[in-house]
Amino acid sequence: MFQEEKTFSFRFSLEASFPDDYEGELDNYAWVQEWERMVKPELLRVLFDSLRRHPSWSAHVRNRGLSPLDEIEIALVKDFSKPSLGLS
C-alpha cells in the first residue's frame, strides 16, 4: 500500500510570571499541575470532539517515545483503500 504523510504542529509554550521577591519553586510548579490536570485534558476533549465530526478521518494518539507530559501526537488518517461514499 502506498502512503503519503504531512506534518502539522500546534505548539504550546507554558510560562508563569512571579513578583521580584519570588524565591523560585515555592509553589511546587502548581501552575504546571493546573495545566496537566485541567487545561490539557479539556483541550484534548475539545479537539477530539471536533475531529469526530469529520467521519472520513480517523484520529488516534500516537506515542513516539516522548513523555505525554512533553508531547502528545495525534495521528489523523484518511484511508482511500477502503470503499467509501465519497472522497471528501
**How much is the pTM?**
0.77
User: Could you tell me if 26 and 39 are in contact, meaning their C-beta atoms sit under 8 angstroms apart?
Assistant: no
Mean pLDDT (the chain, rounded) = 90
- For residue 79, give the C-alpha cell: 484511508
Q: What is the pLDDT of residues 10-47, one digit of tens each?
A: 999 999 998 888 887 778 889 999 999 999 999 999 99
